[in-house]
Copies of this chain bind each other. A is one copy, B any other.
Amino acid sequence: MTRRITVLAGGVGGARFTRGLLRAEPEASVTVVANTGDDLWLAGLRVCPDLDSLMYTLGGISDDERGWGRRDESERVSAELNAYGVGWPWFTLGDLDIGTHIARTSMLRDGLPLSAVTERVAARWNLGARLLPATDDEVETLVTVAADGGATERVHFEEWWVRTRATRPALAFTQANVAASRPAPGVLDAIADADLVMIAPSNPVVSIGTILGIPGIADAVRQTDAPVVGVSPIIGGAVVRGMADACLTAIGVETSAEAVGQHYGARRHGGLIDAWLVDSVDASATRALEAAGLRAHARPLWFTTVDETAAIAADAIALATS
């Protein structure tokens, strides 16, 4: 029987991990539950950075050298928007990318939920996986930062992340309207009915954390009959990509493979994962992780090539199902 694998994933890291997984398990039926906390309205367009990173990477049209967006991009429309004073001058959208945003926004304005829009838009590309937004509701991540005079202010995650490169210390992350949000159709079933659930090496706070914060999803992960395995986004105390350390600090979690594994916690003790794959440099952490109730294994975790990423995914599967 076809193995059903469900991956919780953020953007670029989650996309590359999933690409490797699809190479390791070409026969599997893979569902990706994508973070939507980075989504935003910009110049009247609905931009979904993580869904698009996943779609472009799995569709084979991503700009892997630059690390985001589509290959062969141009930025003529963004230049016009800047000149008209519309949008964020520090948040450049490529022209091909804007095509996606216009198509998506048009369908949303027609009344389709994001999950249906995502299915339609993704149908153009041969992803090899089903792509689901974690929720159809607008649950945007806001970052609380210090303001003048001892006050605080909240800015959209993308403003904090892209404009200020996460240099303003984050005091807290909140997901607007998350309490009233619901998982998108298919998300809970994809977790409950899976043969294996994987947590991609994405930002534990603003990517995976946002997915798990949507009421019902964390419980589904805790309760699924499938084993749950995670891959550490931290190698040797440093973030592989992005600025997850600035996020982990805000929630009081040390930037280490062990601490993030403990943060997710063992399902047998009420946590979210059964197994946790760490890098070879973090091999010394496996004993403490195992003492905490997790199966743990160390191996190189750098996504140097798609084949190497596939080997990492295969090892994660082996760890979870051995």
Q: Report how many copies the assembly holds.
A: 2
- Does A74 belong to the interface (CB within 8 Å)? yes
Contact of A86 among B80, B81, B95, B102 (CB under 8 A): B102
Chain A interface residue count, CB cutoff 8 Å, equals 28
A84 contacts across to B, CB distance below 8 A? 99-100, 103, 120-121, 124
Binds B, one of A104-112, A223-231, A314-322: A104-112
- Does A83 belong to the interface (CB within 8 Å)? yes
- Does A96 belong to the interface (CB within 8 Å)? yes
Query: Which residues of chain A have a CB within 8 Å of any CB of chain B?
Result: 43-45, 74, 76-77, 79-81, 83-87, 95-96, 98-100, 102-103, 105-107, 109, 120-121, 124
A100 contacts across to B, CB distance below 8 A? 80, 84
Does B102 contact A81, Cβ atoms closer than 8 Å?
Answer: yes
Q: Is the interface of A mostly helix, strand, loop or mixed?
A: helix
Does B103 contact A43, Cβ atoms closer than 8 Å?
Answer: yes
Does A44 contact B99, Cβ atoms closer than 8 Å?
Answer: no
Q: Which residue of B lies closest to A109 (CB)?
A: B44
Given contacts A81-B103, A98-B98, 6 further A-B contacts (CB under 8 A): A76-B96, A80-B98, A81-B102, A84-B124, A85-B103, A98-B102
A98 contacts across to B, CB distance below 8 A? 77, 80, 98, 102
Query: Which of A80, A96, A100 has the most chain B CB atoms inside 10 A of its CB?
Result: A80
A303 CB to closest chain B CB, in angstroms? Answer: 28
Alpha-carbon distance A86/B124, docked complex (angstroms)? 12
A104 CB to closest chain B CB, in angstroms? Answer: 9
Does B80 contact A99, Cβ atoms closer than 8 Å?
Answer: yes
